[in-house]
Structure 1
Amino acid sequence: MLAVLLVGAFMPTLDFFIVNVAVPSMTEDLRATSGEIELVVAVYAIVYASLVVLGGRLGDHWGRKKTFVVGIALFTATSAMCGSAPDVWWLICARALQGGAAVVLFPQVLALIQLHYPPAVRPRAMRLYGLATGGAMATGQLIGGLLISLDWLGLSWRWAFLVNLPIGVLTLILAPRLLPATGGQGGLRIDRTGVLLFAVAMVLLVVPLTVGRSAGWPGWTLFMLLGAAVLLPGFWLWERRTEALGRDTLLPPSLLRTGTLRTGLLTVCAFYATMSSALYILALLLQQGRGLSPLESGLVSSPLMVGFCAASLASSALTARWGATRPLKAAMWIRTAGFAAQFPLVLAAATAVNIPVLTVLLAINGACTGAVMAPLLTLVLDDLKPAQAGAASGLLATAQQVAGAVGLSVVGIVFHGVAARRTPLDPAGIATGYRHGLVYLVLMSGAALAGLSLLTRTRDAQRTAGTPAGSSRPVPSQD
């Protein structure tokens, strides 16, 4: 069961990162403009962030097993559409549909783990979940660079999408046999107004943050951000009114009455705001600054994955010896210090970066990330009732993706804004941009550390007041 679920977490996450390394090949083969290629990269995240909460509610409505199987089928089919795209606009539309398929698939993974693993074994399942998602982040560039370099059948960049087909078909065969039966809430009615308000607000927020910098921040991006600032509170007021009337909501406001969830969401946002942004500026440093190929850049980044896997596998032993929170805080401290330790490497031009020292620091970063990711999500979800799992997992996934998009935008503004004062491709300018990017990473990692401290205090305070809701064992329902 767990292996099937982890595939459902790995594939959508991988497609966030693997496409970046294929950008040069796509641009040349499809004769696309830079704006069109940016849409290829961004539209997946835009659709996903806009609708992922709906994915959690669809699982509540249809049953999570059924929704997972539908999601795998859709994700496999849309990956084939991406890999067979005859032109760039076909690819953009297919990527939007692929993001919609990820919306159906991904939230079911956390919900099924939360509902069908008792508290005694749930931390192990969450560690493996973190290993799958973090591994997809860490290896996306390496896998993409390897597939493009091999260029089987002359398909080049298309392998970045076609690699999903055999995995998806195998998972589609196994999922109905291995996943536990879960019944949907037949009387649940989808909050269509809430879906529309939230989706439009997320589009208004994520689109300008994703493409605004490269477009020069025209007036329409500012109007979109203003619209998001109006619609997000409007969505929240609508949800409060809907819940007060006893109707089904997209995101129950009462969910945030759980102190650990409120604090945990802020901590998760700060943590995930460093994930994509750190890999983004690292790729720029290695490829544009150091002059490495995509495959060479992926190989230099590979110690990050090694460290991540090692820490994820060892985290159970650390928890057994030191408790749940002490290894988390120690890893977050070391991760923050590790970002700061990269400063001496980029004091000169990017061509002078010491690769062996950088790989050591990347391995440490990966180890600390692996030690934090799954235990942090476990802390956030641990005190929730089983009935809240679908909405909470959707909310958590939304927080991760929005934080990633915002973090990527901010670090891009910092990096390119500073580097462009010199020649953008000049190694010295890239080193300057990377240093400023590191300042952002240190600040956000420090914010995540502060949030983690507050989260553990909130959790301890709640547990002294009574038994946490999440400690009860859920009883699976039948289809």
Structure 2
Amino acid sequence: MLAVLLAGAFMPTLDFFIVSVAVPSMTEDLRATSGEIELVVAVYAIVYAGLVVLGGRLGDHWGRKKAFVAGTALFTATSAMCASAPDVWWLICARALQGGAAVVLFPQVLALIQLHYPPTARPRAMRAYGLATGGAMATGQLIGGLLISLDWLGLSWRWAFLVNLPVGLVTLVLAPRLLPATSRLGGLRFDRTGVLLFAAGMVLLVVPLTAGRSAGWPVWTLLMLLGAAVLLPAFWLWERRAETLGHDVLLPPGLLRVTALRTGLLTVCAVYATMSSALYILALLLQQGRGLTPLESGLVSSPLMAGFCAASMASSALTARWGTIRVLKVALWTRTAGFAAQFPLVLASAGTVNVPALAVLLAVNGACTGAVMAPLLGLVLEDLRPDQAGAASGLLATAQQVAGAVGLSVIGIVFHGAGGHTALDAQRAATGYRHGLLYLVLMSGAALAGLALLSRVRDGRRPAEEPAGASRPVPSQD
């Protein structure tokens, strides 16, 4: 059973990280603009962000086993659609559908672990879950680079999606036999209006931010941004009204009255706005600027993910020894310094980048990110009542994906500049990467500022005898 569930967690995570290393190959093969390729990467996160809360509800409505099998089938089918894309807009649409499939599949994994593993066995299952998702992140660029470089049957970047097919098909065969049946929960209502307003608003925001620059900012991009400026506030007003009337809502506005959650969400967004965006510009620097193959690019970037996984597994011990706030501060300061330390490597040209030095700095940044993620999320959710935890987790997951999608759009504008160049030489790649590093340093600094504010909020509520930096249990507030 556990192996089947881990496959369901591995595929969507791998697919998000494997695409970055395929960006240069897709750009060349599909004759796409840089904005269109950014949209290929970002649209997966856009759809996931808009529907992730709904995915958990679907599991309750259909039953977790049925939702898992349906999600696996959809994810496998949409992966095949991505691999067969004849042009970039087919690929963008297929990636959007793939993000929707991930919404159905991914939330069921943790839910089934929680439901069907007793408390004594659950820690082992959760460690395996962490290794599966962390392994997907750590090996995504390496696997993608290897498959693209081997270029079996001349399929190049399409192997980044074809790799899901054998895993998905085996999972589809085993899941109905090995997963336990789960009951449906009746009486569930979906916030359909909220889902539509939020998803449409996010599309209207992110599409022009990614495609507008390379298209020269035509009128339609400005109209879409104007539409986003109308729909997103309308979504929030709708949610507030629905919550006041006692209806089910997608993202409960009342949760933001919890000061620590409100502050923590901003901090989490600042961190997540740098994760996929850093990988995106790294792939462009190494492949189009430095001239490395996809496999060589994956090998250079693999220390980042290896550091991430190692630090993620050690984060519990670190916070237990030094305190959550102290670990977060040290990791975020080091991460900011790690981004800044890359500037000297790209002062001249991408062709002269010292690759071993870059790999070391990437490992440091990956380790710092891994040390931050789980403790920060735990800290943000710390002050909530048990009955608020589910909705807050959905709000947090949505914020993470939104920040990732918007961050990717913004760094594309920063990297490529107003001219929207797709073809990069070594000089342009170095210049764009320096600009991207400035964005990463600023966002990492924003995360530090958010953490300082979050620490101040907690210090203001801590009893006098409680030591600074200590982790507190979640209050019952009954």
Name the TM-score class by shorter chain: 0.7 to 0.9
Counterpart for residue 281 of structure 1: 281
Question: Are 1:417 and 2:409 matched, yes or no?
Answer: no
The 10-residue stretch of structure 1 (164-173 or 98-107) with the greater mean CA deviation from structure 2: 164-173
Give the alignment of 1:13-28 within 5 angstroms.
13-23=13-23, 25-26=25-26
Counterpart for residue 450 of structure 1: 449
Task: Please give the alpha-carbon distance, in whole angstroms, between the structure 2 residues aligned to 1:66 and 1:171.
Answer: 13
Counterpart for residue 48 of structure 2: 48
The 10-residue stretch of structure 1 (8-17 or 179-188) with the greater mean CA deviation from structure 2: 179-188
CA contact (8 A) 1:14 1:136 kept: yes
Q: Which amino acid aligns with 1:348?
A: A
Structure 1's unaligned 5+ residue stretches are 473-479
Counterpart for residue 429 of structure 2: 430
Identity between Structure 1 and Structure 2 (%): 84
Q: What per-residue deviation string (whole Å, max 9, x for no partner) do you get for residues 191-228 of structure 1?
A: 22112111111111121122122222222212212221
CA contact (8 A) 1:48 1:100 kept: yes
State the Cα distance separating 1:127 from its structure 2 match: 7.3
The 10-residue stretch of structure 1 (118-127 or 393-402) with the greater mean CA deviation from structure 2: 118-127
Counterpart for residue 477 of structure 1: none
CA contact (8 A) 2:34 2:421 kept: no
Per the alignment, do residues 184 and 458 of structure 1 end up closer, same or farther by CA in structure 2, a change over 3 Å counting?
farther
TM-score (normalizing by structure 2): 0.85
Counterpart for residue 101 of structure 1: 101
Task: Report SS of the residue matched to 2:324.
Answer: coil
Task: Please give the alpha-carbon distance, in whole angstroms, between the structure 2 residues aligned to 1:401 and 1:285.
Answer: 24
The 10-residue stretch of structure 1 (38-47 or 375-384) with the greater mean CA deviation from structure 2: 38-47
Per the alignment, do residues 436 and 29 of structure 1 end up closer, same or farther by CA in structure 2, a change over 3 Å counting?
closer
Task: Please give the alpha-carbon distance, in whole angstroms, between the structure 2 residues aligned to 1:104 and 1:460.
Answer: 39
CA contact (8 A) 1:335 1:365 kept: yes
Give the alignment of 1:117-266 within 5 angstroms.
132-133=132-133, 135-172=135-172, 183-266=183-266
Task: Please give the alpha-carbon distance, in whole angstroms, between the structure 1 residues aligned to 2:313 and 2:88.
Answer: 41
Task: Please give the alpha-carbon distance, in whole angstroms, between the structure 2 residues aligned to 1:36 and 1:357.
Answer: 32
CA contact (8 A) 1:309 1:367 kept: yes
Structure 2's unaligned 5+ residue stretches are none
CA contact (8 A) 2:303 2:366 kept: yes
Task: Please give the alpha-carbon distance, in whole angstroms, between the structure 2 residues aligned to 1:4 and 1:389.
Answer: 27
Task: Please give the alpha-carbon distance, in whole angstroms, between the structure 2 residues aligned to 1:321 and 1:270.
Answer: 26
Task: Please give the alpha-carbon distance, in whole angstroms, between the structure 1 residues aligned to 2:48 and 2:206.
Answer: 10
TM-score (normalizing by structure 1): 0.85
RMSD: 3.6
Counterpart for residue 305 of structure 1: 305
Q: What per-residue deviation string (whole Å, max 9, x for no partner) do you get for residues 402-457 of structure 1?
A: 11122122222222228x69997342333222222211111111111222233344
Per the alignment, do residues 243 and 133 of structure 1 end up closer, same or farther by CA in structure 2, a change over 3 Å counting?
same
Question: Are 1:321 and 2:321 matched, yes or no?
Answer: yes
Q: Which amino acid aligns with 1:15?
A: D
Q: What per-residue deviation string (whole Å, max 9, x for no partner) do you get for residues 151-187 of structure 1?
A: 3344433221121123223444555677677655411
State the Cα distance separating 1:101 from its structure 2 match: 0.5
Q: Which amino acid aligns with 2:196?
A: L
Task: Please give the alpha-carbon distance, in whole angstroms, between the structure 1 residues aligned to 2:240 and 2:280.
Answer: 38
State the Cα distance separating 1:298 from its structure 2 match: 1.1
Per the alignment, do residues 153 and 448 of structure 1 end up closer, same or farther by CA in structure 2, a change over 3 Å counting?
same
The 10-residue stretch of structure 1 (8-17 or 56-65) with the greater mean CA deviation from structure 2: 56-65
State the Cα distance separating 1:270 from its structure 2 match: 0.2
Task: Please give the alpha-carbon distance, in whole angstroms, between the structure 2 residues aligned to 1:124 and 1:257.
Answer: 35
Task: Please give the alpha-carbon distance, in whole angstroms, between the structure 2 residues aligned to 1:114 and 1:222.
Answer: 45
CA contact (8 A) 2:38 2:408 kept: no
Task: Report SS of the residue matched to 1:19.
Answer: helix
Task: Please give the alpha-carbon distance, in whole angstroms, between the structure 1 residues aligned to 2:63 and 2:395.
Answer: 18
Q: Which amino acid aligns with 2:78?
A: T
Task: Please give the alpha-carbon distance, in whole angstroms, between the structure 1 residues aligned to 2:463 and 2:181.
Answer: 35
State the Cα distance separating 1:385 from its structure 2 match: 4.3
State the Cα distance separating 1:232 from its structure 2 match: 1.4
Task: Please give the alpha-carbon distance, in whole angstroms, between the structure 2 residues aligned to 1:416 and 1:156.
Answer: 24
